[in-house]
A and B are shown apart, each in its own frame.
Chain A
């Protein structure tokens, strides 16, 4: 197409800038939400949390982020409709990125708890339905996504509830919680390792394995994941062996030493949380960018099968890291100071419940909100009588943000769509 030969480079550069901006926003705000619980429970310092976030966000995005990226890239809109007008897809995705970015900025300034995921999905649906045609939206997929936004916090809450209850039953209610914690915590570590390995191999590395000609059956994958889980548990057991009981800490709080054991576990769940977050949320920034690059570089052929260039993922990863370094650490500090009531034994249950849900969603290709999932998980721990006080007003404002974000993202995206259309054609 003429447009792509003439303006191709400019379009890609624009998309790159917008995509980077979105990734920056994810790094500045969302990562801090995901990691804030670890900082708040004092299991990690801010520096350690950032370091873990950088490594595991990137790993999650690269190893397990493919499914969600492809949903954002081509799952929400109906590619067949755009085959005639590939330029509309490019304008639309540009508008979606810009609209979501703008909306997130406004919402942050106003102090509304909106989600990157909801903004970008709303924006994509907006330009496709209004800018092109109502049929251009894959409504079946969209309704699945919207349903997953309700299901994910509930699921995370249920898992976290069960996890914390199991901690109570196995460890906390007994006479010797410290010894029991040391005995049982490696099992939770195993679960963390197994979960991450399972999703990565089933979904993320599928293509990599195919390229190098290896194919694992489900059983083999499960076995390998078990091996990885054992490895993680072994590493954890080694770290736990260094935690000695310090009786002097128990004068004020008889559970101080038990919490020190859980603090070690929380290092692992923090990694899994960052991994899960990377696998789901990087797609919000990278998905539209990938769609644009795909169309432009194939000269307008939407159906063309193309591998996502690695620089796109790198750009997304870099945006997150920059966002973390420039702003994210501040948000993390604020959150950490505010949630001092969260102990590692609760923080771990919340994080693992949320991480499991998010990783599962990533494997299924569903873009969900990590923050809202974590809120659900924390409420789950609260239901198990684990947290001193939770502010239910927050739940209401999250519902409100669902109702507001979709139309807002859509409206902005429609606006930008007609703007780009006018400028370039």
Chain B
């Protein structure tokens, strides 16, 4: 006999845990960019390929989580935060993984080498980007504490501080991106044009990861503001 119960049926599955799990998977994708590019610079293409596989695996799992999340989000769910904001955050989070996978795919497929004079700046640029996405994860991980306080008080201030730090980290990435582009511009005539085109493309996409992480933070801020 299938007994349904008014009290237990009243409670839906909280969206917060799945959203946090998705974000930590996504950030794991972006964090692997550093070892990936280190391997590329050292021309260890087998290792790079292994890392790419691991990134795609994480990206697949994130996609699966995203699907589950959306399926568990019927319109009649009553939540302390708006459904649209949650889905918006999820979308931005997912983009981080997609970007990381795309970047590695292109670099690996073309076996691109990074010009010697740019290498150390490049790794620094990637490190800052990873820091920005990790900061976004830190903010997302506060969601359950936010729920605990009913989205009020000290906890809100704490999360706002985290988001401000995230903005600062994104600006740092921007600065490094400009410097890297400038240095590339200086040597671009000595390099094969198509290679240069893709280098710009890669730099763009890495910068985009930091932007997307910032978007996650902005969306989170909107969600608190209500």
Hey, which bits of chain A sit against chain B, CB under 8 A? 32-33, 36-37, 40, 108-109, 111-113, 164-165, 168, 172-175, 253-255, 331, 334-335, 338-339, 341-343, 345, 371-372, 374-375, 378-379, 382, 384-394, 397-398
Residues of B within 8 A of A385 (CB): 80-81, 147, 150-152
Q: Which residues of B line the A interface, CB within 8 A?
A: 1-16, 74, 76-81, 144-145, 147-155
When distances are taken between beta carbons in the complex, the residues of chain B under 8 Å from A172 are 148-150, 152-153
B11 touching A338, Cβ below 8 Å = yes
Is B8 within 8 A of A335, CB to CB? yes
Query: Given A253-B145, A391-B76 in contact, is the A371-B7 Cβ separation under 8 Å?
Result: yes
Bound: A378/B5 CA distance, A: 14
B10 in contact with A394 (CB, 8 Å): yes
**Contact residues in A for B14 (Cβ distance below 8 Å):** 341, 387-389
Contact of B7 among A37, A109, A174, A255 (CB under 8 A): A37
Other CB < 8 Å A-B pairs besides A173-B155, A338-B9, 6 of them?
Answer: A173-B152, A342-B11, A382-B78, A385-B151, A389-B14, A391-B78
Select one of A255, A331, A387 contacting B5, CB under 8 A.
A331
B5 near A334 with CB under 8 A, answer: yes
Question: If A172-B149, A172-B153, A173-B155 touch, does A391 touch B7 (CB 8 Å cutoff)?
Answer: no
Q: Is the CB of B12 within 8 A of A113?
A: no
Query: Which chain A residue has the least Cβ–Cβ distance from B79?
Result: A389
Q: How far, in whole Å, are A378 and B79 apart by their CA atoms in the complex?
A: 12
Determine if B5 and A335 form an interchain contact, defined as CB atoms under 8 angstroms apart.
Answer: yes
A108 to B79, CA, bound (A): 28
The residue in chain B whose Cβ has the minimal distance to the Cβ of A176 is B154
Alpha-carbon separation in the docked complex, A371 to B5 (Å): 10
Contact residues in A for B152 (Cβ distance below 8 Å): 168, 172-173, 385
Give A217 to B194 CA distance when docked, in angstroms: 95
Complex: chain B residue closest to A330, CB-CB? B3
CB pair A389 B78 closer than 8 Å: yes
* Interface CB pairs A-B, < 8 A, 17: A33-B7, A113-B9, A168-B150, A172-B148, A172-B150, A175-B154, A255-B149, A341-B13, A342-B11, A345-B148, A385-B147, A387-B14, A390-B78, A391-B11, A391-B12, A391-B78, A393-B74
Given contacts A388-B14, A393-B76, contact A375 B153 (CB under 8 A): no
> Which residues of the other chain, B, contact A386 by a CB distance below 8 angstroms?
80, 147, 150
**Measured CA separation A255–B155 after assembly (Å):** 11
Residues on A with beta carbons closer than 8 Å to the beta carbon of B150? 164-165, 168, 172, 384-386
Contacts of B76 in A (CB 8 A): 391-393
Of A32, A372, A389, A391, chain B has the most CB atoms within 10 Å of the CB of A389
A335 pairs with B148, CB closer than 8 A:
no
**A339/B8 in contact, CB under 8 A:** yes
Task: Give the Cβ gap from B151 to chain A, nearest Cβ, in Å.
Answer: 5
Please give me the residue from chain A that is nearest to B80 by CB atom: A385
By the criterion CB–CB under 8 Å, are B79 and A375 in contact? no
- Say which residue of B1, B77, B144 sits within 8 Å of A390 (CB atoms): B77
B9 & A388 in contact (Cβ 8 Å cutoff): no
A339 contact from B7, B16, B79, B155, Cβ within 8 A:
B7
Partner pick for B148 among A343, A390, A397, CB 8 A cutoff: A343
B154 and A173: CB pair below 8 A? Answer: yes
Could you say which residues of chain B place their CB within 8 Å of the CB of A345? 148
In contact, A394 and B145 (Cβ under 8 angstroms):
no
**Nearest CB in chain B: distance from A253 CB, A:** 7
Q: How far is the CB of A294 from chain B (nearest CB, A)?
A: 33
Q: Which residues on B sit within 8 Å (CB–CB) of A173? A: 149, 152-155
B226 CB to closest chain A CB, in angstroms? 9
> Taking A108-B1, A173-B154, A253-B145 as contacts, is the C-beta distance between A389 and B7 under 8 angstroms?
no
Q: How far is the CA of A392 from the CA of B11 in the complex (A)?
A: 9
Tell whether, in the assembled complex, residue A371 and residue B77 are in contact, meaning their CB atoms are under 8 Å apart. no
Other-chain contact of B145, A32, A111, A165, A255 (Cβ < 8 Å): A255
- Nearest-CB distance from B203 to chain A (Å)? 38
A398 adjacent to B11 (CB under 8 Å) = no
The residues of A that contact B80 with a CB separation of less than 8 Å are 382, 385-388
**Does the CB pair A390–B10 fall under 8 Å?**
yes
Within 8 Å by CB of A254, from B81, B145, B151, lies B145
Contact among B15, B77, B149, B155 with A391 in the assembled complex (CB-CB below 8 Å): B77
B104 to chain A, nearest CB (A): 32
A334–B8 CB distance below 8 A? yes
Instruction: Give CA–CA (A382, B79) in the complex, Å.
Output: 7
Residue from the list B2, B74, B77, B148 in contact with A111, Cβ < 8 A: B2
Task: Tell me the complex Cα distance, A111–B2, Å.
Answer: 6
Q: In the complex the two chains form, what is the Cα distance from A125 to B71 in whole Å? A: 44
Which 3 residue pairs spanning A and B have beta carbons closest together?
A173-B153, A388-B14, A389-B12
Q: Which residues of B contact A174 (CB under 8 A)?
A: 153-154
Q: Which residues of A contact B148 (CB under 8 A)?
A: 172, 253-255, 343, 345
Chain B residue numbers with a CB within 8 Å of A379 are: 10, 78
